[in-house]
Structure formats: structure tokens, C-alpha cells
Structure 1
Amino acid sequence: MDYLSLCPLVVLLLCLVILALRKIFKIMIQDQEKSTAGIPPGSHGFPVIGETLQFMLSVNSGKGFYEFVRSRRIRYGSCFRTSLFGETHVFLSTTESARAVLNNESGMFTKRYIKSIAALVGDRSLLCASQHHHKILRSRFINLFSKKSTALMVRHFDELVVDALSGWEHRGTVVLLTDLLQITFKAMCKMLISLENEEELGSLQRDVGFVCEAMLAFPLNLPWTRFHKGIMARGRVMDALEKIIRDRRNETSSHNNNNNNHEDFLQQLLAVDNDSSASSSDHSTKLTDSEIKDNILTMIIAGQDTTASALTWMVKYLGENPKVLNILIEKQTQIAKQASDKPFLELDDLTEMTYASKMVKESLRMASVVPWFPRLVLQDCEMEGYKINKGWNINIDARSIHLDPNVYSEPHKFNPSRFDEEAKANSFLAFGMGGRTCLGLNMAKAMMVVFLHRFITTYRWRSKHREVDIICKIEEWISDSCVT
């Protein structure tokens, strides 16, 4: 057959294909216009994957994953939608939305994290539990964060900080976040499971580090991926915790009471579960080993990672605001004189540190270490004038609220004194709000104030990008009224 005779046929086929494609695209556009009527503005990106690639690029960029949210909020406003990991996500950034979603008085929302986080911390974790399961878990864990436990943590954490700082004076330059991760990790392991063996701590911290690195990775469980490494590390952490629980039960059942003097969260949980005098209702909510392990891992991550990050931001802000630093040094030095007869701080000492507490609060506001709070929509509803469909994910954008000039005057200015007065309702979300408010908020704030006090009254320093350059140790800080 002559090739020239095929040309008209090819042209005809091409025309038919083009017409068919135009028709298909026209129908798709019309359907999309109908389906998006009344819903939040935004983009679903590519089919199936949505804007996941853009999100992952932000995660791995120098600006961090929040840049993905910030750029879209600027483009679309306080309420926008996107598609991540195959699901629709809506971001909201008003105090009214925060109150409605986080207080959840209507019962229309429940907690839900993206797949990678849920797989790594476990579906029995407080972070990922359903609304009913969460209430049961919370009722069991809330007693762990008593005033007595907080007082014990203050003492242990202060001891760790004093020991760590004593080694800084000869090092010249300290990478603050790295050292703080070490301190907070040791503190959490001491508080939760009484783990102090350096070799075991090092092994456990490496694996927890792999888990943290994988939490925002693409959930592709193949050998070369970060997500796979995180999943494998989680398995090793679970094995280690299983052995600790088994050994602890063996100690408890033995007649050697000298081994049963642990003052940690695990001991409290096992003591209640083994208490034969406990009521039937207590035993009906007895925690399984899987629930204990998932939540110990969750508390290690939360107590180590977020606290160390918050402290690093806090030192950065102090380095950039010498007036605030000088006020803080003066006030903390006076408190140090009053407590000079005690080797370590006590919980009552922290009540005197009012300016330091405001300093912590302002640092948490500006840094927004937990930038948004995710929830799953259980039934169709309306938020900020837009339709929100059942099954969508809705996220309260805490960082945008914290930096909203309509909520905070001069929001980008570091000013602890703004908390001389109560913040506007539903505007301070560092620890969440409502029924899922962070259980350890008082303990976390206490740890930050303890570190701040010791750091300020022990060293003169200057910020050096992401590092802290230790200039000199104050040998006689008790006798100084102010250090500049």
C-alpha cells in the first residue's frame, strides 16, 4: 500500500482523537466545576498523587514543610484545600475554626495523622486513637502527669542539665539542638522506663531518630526508603520495650523488693494493672502491652523532639533580642541567689520564674513547633462559609494563627511581656486545645524553664547561626547581679 494513500486516514484518525479528547476534557471540567461549587479554594494537583510531590519537596527543602502551607494560604486565604497522599486536606487559620474543631463540641471531628505517622507511632497511640479509644487511653495516662511526677521530673531534668552544661565550657562551639536532643531523650527515658544505661540509650536513640526522620516521608515501604528504615527501627524499639516490660513484670513477681523501687511511668501502669484490689471498671480498661509500647514511643518522641526544638528556638530568639535577654538574666540571677543553698531546682522554685514562663510561652508562639493539628471529618459540615465533606482531613493552622496581626499585635516581634495579659481566646495553640490538649504540657513547660534558668545563669554566649558559641563560664554567677 502506498504511504501517501495512508496520510488522509492518519489525519482523519488524529482529528477524531483530538475531538474525542476535547469532549472528554470538557466533561471533566464541567464535572469539576459542579463538584467544587461551594467548597474551599485550592488545587487537587495531579490525579491520584495530588500535590504530594510539592509537599515532599517542601519537607526536604531548607524552608521546611510549613512553606507548602504558607504559600497556599497566601494564595487562597484562611481556608484552602489540597490533596496529599491520596486524600483531601483542608487548612483553616482562624481562632473561630480552632475553637469549633479542637473543642469538638459537635462530635464531628476525630484525630487523624497522615499514613506515615500512624504507621510509625502505632494505631494504639494517643496521637492516632479513635475518639472513644482516646478517652480510655487518656483516662489511664492522665494520672501519670501529676504534680508529684512533675516535681520528680524537675529534679531529674535539672540534674541532667547541670551535668551537660558542665561539659560545655571546654568545647568552644556547641551545636545546641544536637546536645538538647541528647538531654531531653535521657530525661524522657528516665521518666518513662528508668533507662540509664549509656549503650542501651544510644541504641534506642538511634532507632527513635530513624522513626522521627520517617514520619513525614512518603509511605513507600521499600528497602531503600526512609519510611522502610523507620518501620524497621520501630520494630526494634517495640522489641526493646517488650523486653523492658517483661523484665519489669519478673521483678514485680519476685520476692526481691529491692528491685521494685522504680519511680517511672511504666511502673505506675503495671502497678495498676496488677492491683488485685482495683475495681472491675479499672480492670475493664486495663492497657494491653501494645498500647503501653505505642504510647511510650509516642511520649519519647514528643518529649524529646518537640522540647529540644522549642528550646533551640528559644535560645535563638534570646540571641536576637538582647533587651529581653538582659531582663531575663537579671530576674533569674536573683532567683538563683535565693536557691543557692539547694543543689538542684524544685518545682516550687519554678513558680517564682514568671518572666521566664512568659519567655517560654512567647517562644512557643513564634516557633509553633507543632504547626498544625489534624482532624478527620466525620460528617458533612460547613466551616468559614465553605462546604466540608465527610471523610476529608481538616487541619487547624496554628502557626498562621500565632502570627496573625489581627490576633497578636506585632506578631513577628519577640515580646514576652505580651503575656502580661491573657491571650485572646483560642489564640495560643502550642499544646493544642480541647479534649486532646497535650497531657504533658505542664511538664514540658517546666523542662523549658529549668533549662533556661541554668543556661542563663551559667554561661555568657552568643548565637552563631544554628549553633551556640560558648564564650565563657561565669565562675561566680551567684555574686553577680547582672551578666551582660
Structure 2
Amino acid sequence: MDYLGIVVALVVAASSIAIHLLSRAKKRQPANLPPGSLGLPVIGQSLGLLRAMRGGDGGSRWIQDRIDKYGPVSKLSLFGTPTVLLAGPAANKFLFFSSALSTRQPRSVQRILGENSILGLHGADHGRVRGALLEFLKPDMLKMYVGRIDAEVRRHVEENWAGRGTVTVLPLMKRLTFDIISALLFGLERGAVRDALAGDFARMVEGMWAVPANLPFTAFSRSLKASGRARRVLAGITREKKARRCQPEHRKAPSRSNDLITCLLGLTDGHGERLLSDEEIVDNAMVALIAGHDTSSILMTFMVRHLANDDATLAAMVQGKWPVASESIVPTCHGCS
């Protein structure tokens, strides 16, 4: 048989196998799935959503177009995960009040943040980790953080705001938020380690909103590598703090926990056993860093924007009529972009 005949035979065989597999997959598909398409494997509708989110409306038009096309319930695939889009009051009621549903992050997010984070736990494990994290947020604990937050804010203003007529607020607020969270969660002071962690954190966030293709040139691949580096830093901090707790002077006069990792290391159950493992502490410290970053930085950005556009409010704050700041740390804001 000549080469042409072999090629034709292979093409026919491959086509037959493909048709057979597609027909079997079609037969196995349940008949009660909502309308819509899952799109290409792994990619799905992720690229379309990401493009829409970069637009002026944050993706609202993209979502509305799907609702107009398929109705209030439709299926799609986002970030490698089959997804159902629900819209409307009835869907919201079902989502928030149904006991049959449980929150779950896409597999790609779990790979970045860790397998032991509260985002992927359910039942008793979820309650155990949630209770441990809430210990750090008790009112008497929050009082301990005011001085440290104030010190970070004063340093940030003096280095990045004082003497400048115009500032780009959002990037500065993101870095300030990261510095505060790093100090409170990890006890991490200024320096090269915190700067490197800030860069890895930015790459992690970028990968959470990317197609989960682990290829060398993709944002997701860079995010996984950054997550590994950040995890090693936090694991090292955890080991250092655990070793410090075992020192004789600490056992004689234990100090109050002044950061999340130290607090979690000190929690025990009714039998004196540690409530969380080292891996659980690292993974949930990563989640706490992610969870508080964008919300806080965006809120502070809008606050600064309000002050920049409201001379009366800014003047009242600078003159000390508001007890939250003094003239020495509030810059004159000639413009914010």
C-alpha cells in the first residue's frame, strides 16, 4: 500500500472514531440542562467575560446580552468550570436561601490559594476554620491594630503624598492596603521580603481572572509560580513564629497575639490540640490577604476622591474637626486621577 492510501485510511479511521465519541457524548448529555453553550474546553466563555470586564460597564452588558438570548437561567463555562448563570429575584432567593447549595470556588482559584482554605471547605471543617479566623477579629483584638495601622498610613502619606500636587490614587491605595494587611496578618515589616510578596500577590490576582491554562506564557502559569513563592514565604514566617512560641521565655510569659498567624498558632481545641495545621494557616492567610485587598483599596480610593472634590469636607478634616486625622498627615490634594 502506498503512502497516500495509508494517509487516507488513517483519516477515515480518525473521523470514524471522532464521530463515534461525539455521538456518545451527545447521548450522555442530560436533557434537563438549561439553554446555552459550554464553548471550547477550558476556555469556555472566559475570554468574552474578561474582555467585557475591561470595558466601561464592568461586564454588565455582556451578562444582560446572555440573559436576553437565553433567559434568566443559562449554562456556560468560566475559568475551566461548568457554570450556571442565574438572574432575577426568584434566582437570588433560591441562591441565598437554598440549603441544597454550597459555595465553591473554581478549581483554578483553589490551585492558586491552596487546598485547605476556607473557600473550599464545607461542614465541620468550614466551621472550624471560620471560628479560628473570627478569633482574630474580636473587638478587643481590633483595638490592638489601630496604632499599627496609623503608623503605616503616616509613613505612606509622607513617602508618597506629601509635596505632590497630583497623585494616582488607586495604585497607592492598593499598596497601602497590602502593607497594612501584611503587617496585621503576617507581622511582616517593611523590607525586601514584603516588597517581593507584593509583586507575587499582584501576579496571583492576575491569574485568578485568567483562563486556567498552565502554559509557560500564560497569566495563570505565572500566578501559580507566584503562589508557590508566596506560600514558601508564609510557611517560613509560620515556622519562625511557631519556634518562638516554643522558647522558654514565651512559655513563662506568653504575649498577646498581634498578627493572624500568631493568633492561629495559639488556638487549641478542648483537648489542647492545635485547631489548625501549618498548611491550613498558610492557605487561609492567603485567602485573608486576597479577601481584604480590593474591597478596602477601592473604598479608600472613593473616599479620597470625595475629599478631592469637596473642599469643605477636606478643610474640616485638616482643621481637626474630624478626629480621624491631623493636619500633619493629610496632604493638600490639588487633584486625584
- Structures share a fold, TM > 0.5? yes
Tell me which amino acid in the other structure corresponds to 1:279: G
Residue from 110, 128, 131 that aligns with 2:120: 128
What's the CA shift for 1:151? 2.3
1:309 aligns with 2:298: yes
Residue from 461, 465, 468 that aligns with 2:333: 461
| Structure-2 change in CA distance of 1:75 and 1:142 (3 Å) | same
What's the CA shift for 1:92? 2.6
1:84 aligns with 2:78: yes
Q: Percent identity?
A: 25
Tell me the distance in 1 between the aligned counterparts of 2:141 and 2:286: 19
The runs of 5 or more residues in structure 2 that have no matched partner are 1-14
Tell me the distance in 2 between the aligned counterparts of 1:45 and 1:246: 45
| Structure-2 change in CA distance of 1:86 and 1:328 (3 Å) | same
Residue from 265, 271, 286 that aligns with 1:270: 265
| Structure-2 change in CA distance of 1:333 and 1:125 (3 Å) | same
Tell me which amino acid in the other structure corresponds to 2:282: K
| Structure-2 change in CA distance of 1:327 and 1:81 (3 Å) | farther
CA contact 1:116–1:217 (8 Å) conserved in 2? no
| Structure-2 change in CA distance of 1:175 and 1:51 (3 Å) | same
Q: Greater shift after overlay, 307-316 or 138-147?
A: 307-316
Instruction: Report the counterpart of residue 350 of structure 1 in structure 2.
Output: none
What's the CA shift for 1:205? 0.8
Q: TM-score when scaled to structure 2?
A: 0.77
Tell me which amino acid in the other structure corresponds to 2:264: L
Q: How many residues align?
A: 313
Tell me the distance in 1 between the aligned counterparts of 2:197 and 2:314: 36
Residue from 142, 158, 161 that aligns with 2:134: 142
**Which has the larger share of strand?**
1
1:219 aligns with 2:208: no
Q: Greater shift after overlay, 155-164 or 246-255?
A: 155-164
CA contact 1:160–1:187 (8 Å) conserved in 2? yes
Tell me the distance in 2 between the aligned counterparts of 1:95 and 1:149: 39
Tell me which amino acid in the other structure corresponds to 1:304: H
Matches within 5 A, 1:104-115: 104=98, 106=99, 108-115=100-107
Tell me the distance in 1 between the aligned counterparts of 2:30 and 2:61: 28
Instruction: Report the counterpart of residue 398 of structure 1 in structure 2.
Output: none
What's the CA shift for 1:77? 4.9
Tell me which amino acid in the other structure corresponds to 1:264: D
Residues 37-86 of structure 1: CA distance to partner in whole angstroms, max 9, x if unpaired? 6x544444457753234234435667655554343235445443323345
CA contact 1:180–1:308 (8 Å) conserved in 2? yes
CA contact 1:121–1:294 (8 Å) conserved in 2? yes
Instruction: Report the counterpart of residue 147 of structure 2 in structure 1.
Output: 155
Tell me which amino acid in the other structure corresponds to 1:272: L
Tell me the distance in 1 between the aligned counterparts of 2:247 and 2:42: 57
Q: TM-score when scaled to structure 1?
A: 0.56
Tell me the distance in 1 between the aligned counterparts of 2:262 and 2:42: 47
1:238 aligns with 2:231: yes
Instruction: Report the counterpart of residue 108 of structure 2 in structure 1.
Output: 116
What's the CA shift for 1:94? 3.6
Secondary structure at 2:77 match in 1:
strand
CA contact 2:152–2:180 (8 Å) conserved in 1? yes
Tell me the distance in 2 between the aligned counterparts of 1:202 and 1:67: 37
**Which has the larger share of helix?**
2
Residues 445-484 of structure 1: CA distance to partner in whole angstroms, max 9, x if unpaired? xxxxxxxx679x9345365xxxx16xxxxxxxxxxxxxxx
Tell me which amino acid in the other structure corresponds to 1:337: K
Residues 259-299 of structure 1: CA distance to partner in whole angstroms, max 9, x if unpaired? 956511211211224xxxx522x63x721111100011111
1:179 aligns with 2:165: no
CA contact 2:80–2:211 (8 Å) conserved in 1? no
Greater relative contact order (Cα 8 A, min sep 6): structure 1 or 2?
1
CA contact 1:44–1:51 (8 Å) conserved in 2? yes
Residues 19-47 of structure 1: CA distance to partner in whole angstroms, max 9, x if unpaired? xx9xxx9x99x989x9666x544444457
Matches within 5 A, 1:200-215: 200-215=193-208
Matches within 5 A, 1:27-46: 40-46=34-40
| Structure-2 change in CA distance of 1:271 and 1:50 (3 Å) | closer
| Structure-2 change in CA distance of 1:191 and 1:67 (3 Å) | farther
1:98 aligns with 2:98: no
What's the CA shift for 1:212? 0.8
Tell me the distance in 2 between the aligned counterparts of 1:48 and 1:266: 35
Tell me which amino acid in the other structure corresponds to 1:148: D
Secondary structure at 2:232 match in 1:
helix
Tell me which amino acid in the other structure corresponds to 1:290: E
Tell me which amino acid in the other structure corresponds to 1:159: A
CA contact 1:193–1:264 (8 Å) conserved in 2? yes
What's the CA shift for 1:185? 0.9
CA contact 2:318–2:330 (8 Å) conserved in 1? no
Tell me the distance in 2 between the aligned counterparts of 1:50 and 1:195: 40
Tell me the distance in 2 between the aligned counterparts of 1:224 and 1:50: 19
| Structure-2 change in CA distance of 1:65 and 1:219 (3 Å) | farther
| Structure-2 change in CA distance of 1:72 and 1:331 (3 Å) | farther
CA contact 2:307–2:314 (8 Å) conserved in 1? no
Tell me which amino acid in the other structure corresponds to 2:177: T
The runs of 5 or more residues in structure 1 that have no matched partner are 1-16, 340-344, 346-452, 470-484
1:164 aligns with 2:148: no
Tell me which amino acid in the other structure corresponds to 2:295: T
Instruction: Report the counterpart of residue 184 of structure 2 in structure 1.
Output: 191
Residues 126-159 of structure 1: CA distance to partner in whole angstroms, max 9, x if unpaired? 1222344212211221111111222233332233
Residue from 286, 289, 297 that aligns with 1:300: 289
